Amino acid sequence: MSLSSALSIADLRRLAQRRLPRMVFDYLDGGAEDEVSLRANRAAFEALRLQPRLLRDASVRDPRVNLFGREWAMPVAVAPVGLAGVFWPQGDLHTARAAGRAGVPFILSTASSVSLEDVARGAPDTELWFQLYVISRRIADALVERALAAGYRTLVLTIDVPVSGYRERDLRNGFAQPFRVTPRTVLDVARHPGWLWRMARHGSPQLANLATVDAADAESQAALLKRQMDASFDWHALARLRERWPHRLLVKGVLHPDDARDAFALGVDGLVLSNHGGRQLDGALGALDLLPRVAALAGGRPVLVDGGVRRGVDVLRALALGASGVLLGRAVQYGLAAGGEAGAGRALALLREELDRAMALCALRQISEIGPDLLAP
Ligand code: FNR
């Protein structure tokens, strides 16, 4: 199978599985503990049945939306994903460019493999957002300043990683940065010479946003790799961040309607309901389960959701439940792993085609026509 013959995100996933060493694929594909929340994310989408009203002229369809003062080509943005350089050298840059070509925002992770400055320089036509992990207040302040100086105007604070989720696939596979040389990992990598060749040829620094010679930053590199965040970050700290950051601020990882209400009360501009793709608290509810309650209290402020979006019709489902848009995590990364920028672009193009087809099948001309009546009771 080649990129162009991949018919779905599931096909791109199969390609990624073939091209990546097992430990790298599992890092991408896996979740925390028993992966209950990971499976629940997909199950929640699949359980939502659509009941379209037909016999309406939908010969011309337009999937564009206006969100956060911008036009998006479709109600989709690319989610922040750390260590993307292990899927493809300089993966963040490739995905950012693919997002720009698809006309959707790209959210760069704090744990990116290309620095935030290099992504801003390398993808000037992409709407770029920066995702902030608070490893320490000092590092967070410095990252915020840098993001501002580099031209980022939307900050996404991720709140669901006070400590790392327990990802047993990674532990079992010995997935670590830098790669741990054991007979098992050597064998795994040796079975994927294409990947090894690409890595050896382009090998990019991991965690480029923290790649300095400063000893304190070396410590934070280690903390970030172990996903050890500042677990004391609280509402007061968020209020301070709100004061410091003069532009748009979103909070990602909200899982409770009361947190959603409090975040809006603090002046946060939008939310991402998310269980981190089932990689953090296993047993956590999925964003879709929470969405109707949060949409009801949002008062028109944007609410994005992620976790398990794999088809265009999933976008319809999320919007019918009250979301303003969705983030794509693994869907785009499977494409990246399958073929760099072209692969990430293929993932976004497939989603766009599927969304258009789903709109036609539901006789919808505009995204604004999507409402709760699309869902079977
Ligand atoms: C993530 N996610 C994530 N989120 C974040 O805020 N910062 C990060 O650095 C990362 N890193 C990361 C790595 C990998 C490999 C994955 C799969 C996910 C979570 C991500 O932004 C998003 O919430 C989920 O991926 C959404 O679920 P789906 O679309 O992957 O099912």
DSSP string, 95-156: HHHHHHHHT--EEE-TT-SS-HHHHHHH-TTS-EEEEE--S-HHHHHHHHHHHHHHT--EEE
**Residue 376's closest CA among 317, 324, 325?**
317
Assign 192 to helix, strand or coil.
coil
Phi–psi pair at 12, nearest 5 degrees = -65, -35
pLDDT tens string 183-234: 988 999 999 999 999 999 887 667 899 887 676 677 777 777 777 789 999 9
How many C-beta atoms lie closer than 10 Å to residue 38's C-beta?
A: 24
Question: Which residue's CA lies nearest to atom 25 of ligand 1?
Answer: 329
Q: What is the mean pLDDT of residues 342-368?
A: 98
pLDDT tens string 127-146: 999 999 999 999 999 999 99
CA 81 to ligand 1 centroid distance, Å: 5
Does the C-beta of 337 come closer than 6 Å to ligand 1? no
Ligand 1 mutation pick, 27, 46, 81, max ligand atoms within 8 A of CB: 81
Is position 276 annotated as part of the catalytic site?
Answer: yes
Q: What whole-number distance in Å separates Cα of residue 139 and Cα of residue 117?
A: 16
Question: Which residue's CA lies nearest to atom 24 of ligand 1?
Answer: 277
Question: Which residue's CA lies nearest to atom 14 of ligand 1?
Answer: 81
ipTM entry: 1.00
Q: What is the mean pLDDT of residues 21-27?
A: 97
Both tokens of 124, joined, read 């000037």
Res. 373 pLDDT band, cuts 50 70 90: very high
Residue ranges per structural domain of the chain: 9-374
Residues contacting residue 204 through CB under 8 Å, at least 6 positions apart? 85, 89, 90, 113, 114
Average pLDDT across the chain, whole number: 95
**Residue 310, annotated as binding a ligand:** yes
pLDDT for the residue 224: 78
pLDDT tens string 92-111: 999 999 999 999 999 999 99
pLDDT for the residue 225: 75
Number of H helices, E strands in the chain: 15, 10
Report the range of poorest mean pLDDT among 66-70, 140-144, 218-222, 343-347.
218-222
Fold of 9-374: TIM Barrel (3.20.20)
Res. 180 pLDDT band, cuts 50 70 90: confident
Q: What whole-number distance in Å separates Cα of residue 358 and Cα of residue 302?
A: 23
Q: What is the mean pLDDT of residues 5-23?
A: 98
CA distances from 5 to 78, 91, 339, 351 (A): 23, 22, 12, 15
- DSSP letters spanning 59-105: SS-B--EEETTEEESSSEEEPP-TTGGGTSTTHHHHHHHHHHHHT--
Residues contacting residue 193 through CB under 8 Å, at least 6 positions apart? none
CA 82 to ligand 1 centroid distance, Å: 7
CA distances from 103 to 75, 118, 166, 348, 372 (A): 10, 20, 35, 10, 27
Q: Is the pLDDT of residue 325 over 80?
A: yes
